[in-house]
């Protein structure tokens, strides 16, 4: 069977006066993620997993933080572009799994909204988009609420044309 697997990781610092956007969903929180784009750490990890599956490099290559074009960019739009890049090469996403490491806020009430948002960007049933959340038990940068990190894996298969 012809399958490809990729993994992705990202971390962003938390700071004031920034929105907190995870998996394309804006969350109410007194802190948000710092970054050149909207700093959606979960969507970034997923993009790197998708690119990694085809050994196409990383998101920094396609959307460099030095390029003003991507300033404040909606990461979901970038994810759609990565999905198109994969499809253009004859591949489609089979499923995604991911973990967000955040001490606060509680992510559980928003997980399904994230799965829906990510799934529609990837033309994928939300049943094939795993999003999990964990705290870091107050350990490390995530535990001290200095940042939020995310891990993702993606499985791809060739697009079958009838
Ligand atoms: Mg990032």
> Tens digits of per-residue pLDDT, 124-140?
999 999 999 999 999 99
How much distance in Å is there from the Cα of 124 to the middle of ligand 1?
22
Tens digits of residue pLDDT in 38-53 = 999 999 999 999 999 9
Extract the tokens encoding 62.
Answer: 């396609």
Distance between CA 70 and CA 36 in Å, rounded? 7
Domain around 83? 4-158
- What CATH number did the domain enclosing 123 receive? 3.30.1330.50
Distance 162 CA to ligand 1 centre (A): 38
Total number of domains in the chain: 1
C-alpha 75 to ligand 1 mean position (Å): 9
* Strand 91-101 to 129-134 pairing: parallel
Q: What is the mean pLDDT of the chain?
A: 96
């Amino acid at each position: 069977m012809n399958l490809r697997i990729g993994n992705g990781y990202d971390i962003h610092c938390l700071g004031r006066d920034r929105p907190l956007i995870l998996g394309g969903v804006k969350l109410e929180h007194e802190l948000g993620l710092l970054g050149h784009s909207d700093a959606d750490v979960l969507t970034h990890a997923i993009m790197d997993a998708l690119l990694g599956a085809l050994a196409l490099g990383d998101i920094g290559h396609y959307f460099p933080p030095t390029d003003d074009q991507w300033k404040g960019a909606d990461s979901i739009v970038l994810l759609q572009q990565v999905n198109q890049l994969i499809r253009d090469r004859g591949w489609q996403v089979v499923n995604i799994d991911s973990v967000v490491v955040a001490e606060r806020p509680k992510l559980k009430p928003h997980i399904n909204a994230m799965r829906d948002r990510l799934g529609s960007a990837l033309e994928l049933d939300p049943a094939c988009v795993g999003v999990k959340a964990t705290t870091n038990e107050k350990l490390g940068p995530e535990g001290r609420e200095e940042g939020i990190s995310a891990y993702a894996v993606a499985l791809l298969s060739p697009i079958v044309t009838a």
